[in-house]
């Protein structure tokens, strides 16, 4: 994972949802180096969605039902939450709330008893604020 400083990414160029913005262009005005270098690597588990970036934090969701907030400046996991059902879409960052949706039909295993729901989490500590 490359930290935001090496990419020249600032909060002005946040990527707060899938493909960056509500226009879904997938484009950014940020400059990236010609030869990027690996600054930090951490294991979060299998993911089929795109990470998002905002407020100095990278957010990643996994098909094992975990959401991670990663601090690239300090090269550490800020917090993580196990929601109990697979997360197959990218989370969305709105103000101070991270929104994520689960999809339990992703895993075809008789022992898996997940549920489909949408939840909002506090970006500072990952605590659930609301759920539907």
Q: Residue 104: which domain range?
A: 4-131
pLDDT tens digits, residue range 26-63?
555 666 678 888 888 888 888 888 888 888 898 999 98
pLDDT tens digits, residue range 102-117?
876 655 555 555 577 7
Secondary structure of residue 100 in the 3-state scheme: strand
For the chain, what is the domain count? Answer: 1
**Nearest to 98, CA basis, from 52, 63, 35:** 52
Q: Read off the CATH number of the domain in which 55 is found.
A: 2.40.10.480
Query: Average pLDDT of 2-25?
Result: 50
What confidence score (pLDDT) does residue 44 get?
83
pTM as predicted: 0.72
Tell me what the pLDDT averaged over the chain comes to.
76
Please, what's the largest Cα pairwise distance for the chain? Answer: 47
What confidence score (pLDDT) does residue 30 get?
63
């Amino acid at each position: 994972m490359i930290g935001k400083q090496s990419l020249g990414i600032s909060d002005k160029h946040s990527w707060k949802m899938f493909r960056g913005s509500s226009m879904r262009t997938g484009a950014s005005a940020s400059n990236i180096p010609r030869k990027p270098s690996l600054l930090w690597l951490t294991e979060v588990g299998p993911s089929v969605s795109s990470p998002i970036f905002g407020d100095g934090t990278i957010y990643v969701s996994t098909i094992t039902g975990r959401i991670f907030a990663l601090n690239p400046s300090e090269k550490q996991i800020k917090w993580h939450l196990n929601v109990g059902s697979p997360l197959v879409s990218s989370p969305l960052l709105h103000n101070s709330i991270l929104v994520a949706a689960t999809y339990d039909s992703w895993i075809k295993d008789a022992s898996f008893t997940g549920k489909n729901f949408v939840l909002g989490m506090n970006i500072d500590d990952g605590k659930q604020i609301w759920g539907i």
